[in-house]
């Protein structure tokens, strides 16, 4: 009498993928990288989400996301340095805090279901945060940033740093 094969809770795709699937995943990776790099991030959470959606095993997801993250982060640092938006002296506090915790996180061993649960929770919390942040009116954010730079719409001192050339409503034009 033969015993039934054990069933798995999660089904993963084989490592070998069809060419069109690889091209679609590469296009998704490019889109994620392009969007994330515009704000100075490398996009690891986006890569992980794309690979999780197509069912790639975590053993493949982790190193793939790491390599993509390193490449995109290096390109982003290069672009930001070239545009003079990068300050090495401002980077050190973040490195001192992030490198040890990244090493601690890398030493953690999670089961497959634990890994997917952790990634899912982090992505869900990110989505909730972004949704909540976008619900704050844009005018409030603009007012805070303009008031700091001396915008004529929100303060009496005009600053050349403000990009808004039109006078504040009700203010006399010069």
Domain membership of residue 43 (yes or no) is yes
Least confident of 88-102, 107-121, 133-147: 133-147
Domain membership of residue 97 (yes or no) is no
Taking the CB of residue 161, how many other CB atoms lie within 10 A of it?
Answer: 10
pTM tops 0.75, yes or no: no
Domain membership of residue 53 (yes or no) is yes
Total domain count for the chain?
1
Chain segment 74-88, per-residue pLDDT in tens: 888 888 888 888 777
What CA–CA distance (Å, rounded) separates 65 from 62? 5
Question: What band does 145 get if pLDDT is binned at 50, 70 and 90?
Answer: very low
Domain membership of residue 121 (yes or no) is yes
Domain membership of residue 37 (yes or no) is yes
Domain that holds residue 29: 19-85+108-149
């Amino acid at each position: 009498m033969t015993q039934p094969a054990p069933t798995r809770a999660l089904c993963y795709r084989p490592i070998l993928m069809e060419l069109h699937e690889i091209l679609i995943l590469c296009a998704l990776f490019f889109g994620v990288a392009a969007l994330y790099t515009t704000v100075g991030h490398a996009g690891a959470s986006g890569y992980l989400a794309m690979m999780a959606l197509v069912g790639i095993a975590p053993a493949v997801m982790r190193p793939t996301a790491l390599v993509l993250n390193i490449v995109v982060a290096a390109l982003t640092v290069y672009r930001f340095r070239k545009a003079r938006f990068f300050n090495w002296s401002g980077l050190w506090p973040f490195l001192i805090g992030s490198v040890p915790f990244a090493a601690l996180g890398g030493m953690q061993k999670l089961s497959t279901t634990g890994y997917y649960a952790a990634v899912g929770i982090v992505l869900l919390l990110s989505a909730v945060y972004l949704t909540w942040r976008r619900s704050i009116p844009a005018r409030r954010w603009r007012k805070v940033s303009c008031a700091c730079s001396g915008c004529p719409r929100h303060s009496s001192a005009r600053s050349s740093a403000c990009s808004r050339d039109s006078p504040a409503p009700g203010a006399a034009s010069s």
